[in-house]
Amino acid sequence: MTAQGKPQSGREHEVGILTAPLLNLDLNREIEQLRSEGRWQSGHTAKTLAKYSDFRVVLIVMKAGGRLEKHRTEGRISVQTLEGKIRFSTAERSVELSAGQMLALKRNLLHDVEGILDSAFLLTIAWPGTTAP
């Protein structure tokens, strides 16, 4: 169960401090930890690194051939590839992102993600019209 009482999908989990005036994270260590867990073998797994009412950062590790099926979010997102190569697709366009590349996407746009190589990427979500402390 998550902190909000929702059942977990088995692919995303929250660990540690998610909100603070300043969060300092070691992304290489986080990637290594996710890859050491059995659930990444199913194609992908994710860990929420920062969680505020108007902003979220999620680290996702994906095996080559792994997929995040078509979905959308109410917030604007950015996807920044840290390792490997992923394919990010909308109905109109498909983009391959290698390590060091990033894209931004408007809200509510249906998309999916596929791992071309074993990969790690950051998903950042910003929700509109939310005021945060």
Residue range 62-95, pLDDT digits in tens = 999 999 999 888 899 999 999 999 999 999 999 9
Tell me if 68 is assigned to some domain.
Answer: yes
Cα 125 to Cα 58: distance, rounded to the nearest angstrom = 8
pTM given for the model: 0.84
What domain range includes position 87? Answer: 49-128
Q: Which helix (H) or strand (E) holds 56?
A: strand 55-62
Flag whether 111 is in a domain: yes
- Is 116 domain-assigned? yes
CA–CA dist 41, 11 (Å, integer): 10
Q: Residue 78's domain is classified under what CATH number?
A: 2.60.120.10
Residue 21 lies in a domain: no
22 within some domain: no
Residue 9 falls inside a structural domain: no
| Tokens at 6, concatenated | 């929702």
Segments in the chain forming alpha helices (H): 27-36
What's the structural domain count of the chain? 1
25 domain-assigned: no
DSSP string, 4-33: TSPPP-SSEEE-S----SS----HHHHHHH
Per-residue model confidence (pLDDT) at position 12: 52
Query: Which pLDDT score, from 0 to 100, does residue 87 have?
Result: 97
Is residue 12 in some structural domain? Answer: no
